Amino acid sequence: MLAVSGLRKSFGGRTVLDGFDLRVEAGEFVALLGPNGSGKSTALRCAAGLETPDGGSVEVRGSAAMVFQKIHLVGRRTALDNVCSGALGRLPLHRSLFYPQDVREEAVRCLDRVGLADRALERCARLSGGQQQRVAIARALCQRANVILADEPVSALDPQAAVQVMELLVDLAAEGMAVVAVLHQPELAQRYAHRIVEMRTAVAV
Amino acid sequence: MTITVPRRRWPSATAWVVTAVVVVVHVLAWQATEFSPAALVAGWEGMADFLSESLPPDLSVLGKSLEAAVITLYIGLLGTTFSIPFALVLALLASRATTSAVWGRQAARAVLSFLRSVPDVVFALIFVTAVGLGPFAGVLALVFHNTGVMGKLWAEAMDESDRGPREALRVAGASGPQIALHAVLPTVLPSLAGLLLYRLDVNVRSSLVLGLVGAGGIGFLINQSIKLFRFDEMVTHILVVLVLVVVVDQASAFVRKRLGA
């Protein structure tokens, strides 16, 4: 589902990634662990297309969605609107001024999948951190993503909310998605991930 | 235990030079503007005459004055409202958050700078030659100048918006205009509305000055009463202006506070 090979990236002469490989199959949950600066986030951002790698290749079958530590929803808009925005990639501009009814219906189903259908019309800023992260995952579902790239999805959450989000990600993997999560807590990785990839600091050139 | 007290440091050479330059510039400015407290003291009688003629205010023109004040308010209102679409398009083109092409941003910024650097009074004089004396010329002048100012303020507000939601939508495959519509604008809307009200406040005050160059409203009446040496009428107009400015200022401050912007 996701194949990254020979990824290289440096920022201002500092090599962050030097030949990073990763294959994730459908139905698999892979955790990326490693110290700060080992390029975990950069690897995900390259896979998502937010950074252009200096070398190497990224192949995604279908589409990849990203889930962030800081969640990155539009706090002033409703959960429903935020989930709908996942569908923008397949909407022409003239249909995206107001979300069409079929997209809204799909978005409600996505919210229902993460257990928040009853909060659809609430502004995101009013939801708890854990709820917001689940809305962000619903946005990924509404994008019809096959791959979820999660960059420290639970680092900002309290333990209970973290467990909820982790279990949701595991369930989505079980339903056939490929999930890659950068994690800071090894115990969460050991408990939930099918496979753990340890990243080391790239050797400075 | 001995504690070493740092020695007092004297201002550096740079500080002395900067001080000297600032002083010299002020002396030059003093001379160039013919600044002379003596002239002010010597001419106090002129001012006293002026004031004695202007008091008490002639309240018989109050009705006319209020009507003209409403026109002034309307000029400021339309000048602000009609600049919204232009300011919005140019701000979206000028902001890093919404336009990635450097040449596009620079072109939009150049247009905004031009509109901003031409004073509204100059625009008014230009439009008076096209549409004649009257409030319409004032509205056009404000639309042009305010597009420049508000477009820049709006672009800056967009620049400062959180890039996170933009990135999330980019990963989802949204296009630039879609990101502007669904990530940038919803985030910055309260700031844009706050800046709009602030500009309305400024524009109502500007439209007063535009009246002095023939764009109608209460500024026109003030100009007229000065030309006719009817200073008692002028004071009435100025009192009405005072009330108008305070009311608009307070109303806009109130709404901005409610918006939290």
**Residue A140: its chain B contacts at CB < 8 A?**
172
Residue range A144-154: mean pLDDT, rounded? 94
**Residue A205 confidence class, pLDDT cut points 50, 70, 90:** very low
Instruction: State yes or no: pLDDT of A203 exceeds 60.
Output: no
Asked whether the predicted pLDDT for residue A201 surpasses 80, the reply is no
Prediction ipTM score: 0.91
The pLDDT of A69-77, averaged and rounded, is 93
DSSP A28-62: -EEEEE--TTSSHHHHHHHHHTSS--SEEEEEESS
CB B150 within 8 A of CB B196: yes
Query: Does residue B1 carry a pLDDT above 70?
Result: no
Element holding A182 (H helix, E strand): strand A178-182
**Domains (ranges, CATH) in chain B?**
66-259 (1.10.3720.10)
Inform me whether the pLDDT recorded for A202 exceeds 60.
no
pLDDT, tens digit, 9 for 90 and up, residues B37-59: 888 888 888 888 878 877 888 87
Give the residue from chain B lying closest to A70, CA to CA: B164
Check A74 against B186: CB less than 8 A apart: yes
> How high is the mean pLDDT of chain B?
89
Query: With bands split at pLDDT 50, 70 and 90, how would you rate the model's confidence at A14?
Result: confident
The residue behind tokens 């939930």 is: A192
**% of chain B exceeding 90 in pLDDT:** 47
Give CA torsion, residues B76, B78, B80, B83, to 10 deg: -140
Q: Which residues contact B143 (CB under 8 A, 6 or more apart)?
A: B78, B79, B82, B83, B86
Confidence of residue B260 (pLDDT cuts 50, 70, 90): low
pLDDT in tens, B76-87: 999 999 999 999
Residue A110: name the closest of A100, A123, A119 by CA. A119
Average pLDDT over residues A67-90: 94
From B123, B165, B167, select the one nearest B145 (Cα to Cα).
B123
Range of weakest confidence among A156-160, B191-195, B224-228:
B224-228
A115: left (phi over 0), alpha (psi -120 to 50) or beta: left
Q: Which of A88, A97, A147, A151 should be substituted to probe chain B, the one whose Cβ sees the most B Cβ atoms within 10 Å?
A: A88
3-state helix, strand, coil in chain B (%, to 5): 80, 0, 20
**B177 contacts on A by Cβ (under 8 Å):** 93
Higher per-residue pLDDT: A147 or B11: A147
| Rounded average pLDDT over A67-87 | 95
In contact, A133 and A154? CB cutoff 8 Å: yes
* Span A35-49, pLDDT tens digits: 888 888 999 999 999
The shortest CB-CB distance from A89 to any of B173, B183, B187 is to B173
Q: What is the CATH architecture assignment of A1-62+147-205?
A: 3-Layer(aba) Sandwich (3.40)
Cβ within 8 Å, pair B178-A91? yes
Residues B261, B160: Cα–Cα separation, whole Å: 14
Residue B224 and residue B237 in contact, taking contact as beta carbons nearer than 8 Å: no
**Is A95:A87 a contact under the CB 8 Å cutoff?**
no
Domain ranges of chain A: 1-62+147-205, 75-145
Interfacial A residues in 127-146 facing B (CB < 8 Å): 136, 139-140, 143
- Note the pLDDT of residue A204: 45
**pLDDT over 60 (residue B261):** no
Query: How big is the CA angle at A36 (ends A34 and A37), to the nearest 5 degrees?
Result: 100
